[in-house]
Amino acid sequence: MLHTNTLTKRIRRGGLTRGQAGMTLVEIMVVMTLLGLLMTILAVNFLGMAENRKVDAALLQMETIKGRLDAFKLEYSRYPSTSEGLNSLVTPPQKSNGRTPAGYLDDANLLADPWGNPLQYYAPARTGDHPFEIVSLGSDGQQGGEGTDMDISNWQR
């Protein structure tokens, strides 16, 4: 049995006995590996959730634009043509009476989806019996795809 005086001297000198040693390098590496795996799993799940929220944001954005297109129709008695596109909501065309109404969208950034790709506009809609269609090409910016790469249409809800 060590006396308190002897133990205090060993601690001051840094001389711990073999049974009192800290974690080995292998134990530290195992803990670090487990922490890395846990962080990877959490990051993958978080990024997947973030991409799904972007899909929801794109649909909400399309609903906003749809309302602005309806306002455009009230003013012009028609929806913008495909060639006029969604830019006609920011800079409306001149009316037959020579007047040009104020824009229906203040921010042209709303014409890009949450991934930064321009929204596509078709009048009439490519499918279905709709007067127009707003399409986001998804996270990959290419037609088609699956998951968050899939095309999103304002009529898919």
- In percent, the amount of the chain with pLDDT more than 70 equals 79
The Cα 135–Cα 59 span in angstroms is 9
Lowest-confidence pick of 70-79, 115-124, 132-141:
132-141
**Amino acid 29: pLDDT:** 80
Structural domains of the chain ordered from first start: 24-153 (3.30.700.10)
124, amino acid identity: P
User: How does residue 139 score in pLDDT terms, banded at 50, 70 and 90?
Assistant: confident
In Å, what is the CA distance from 47 to each residue of 29, 40, 43, 50, 151? 27, 11, 6, 5, 19
| Nearest alpha-carbon partner for 61 in 131, 127, 114 | 114
What does residue 43 show for φ and ψ, rounded to 5 degrees?
-65, -45
Q: What is the tens place of the pLDDT at every residue in 5-19?
A: 655 555 555 555 555
What would the mean pLDDT of 109-136 be, rounded to a whole number? 89
The Cα 82–Cα 120 span in angstroms is 9
From the CB of residue 155, how many other CB atoms can be counted at a distance below 10 Å? 16
Q: What is the reported pTM?
A: 0.64
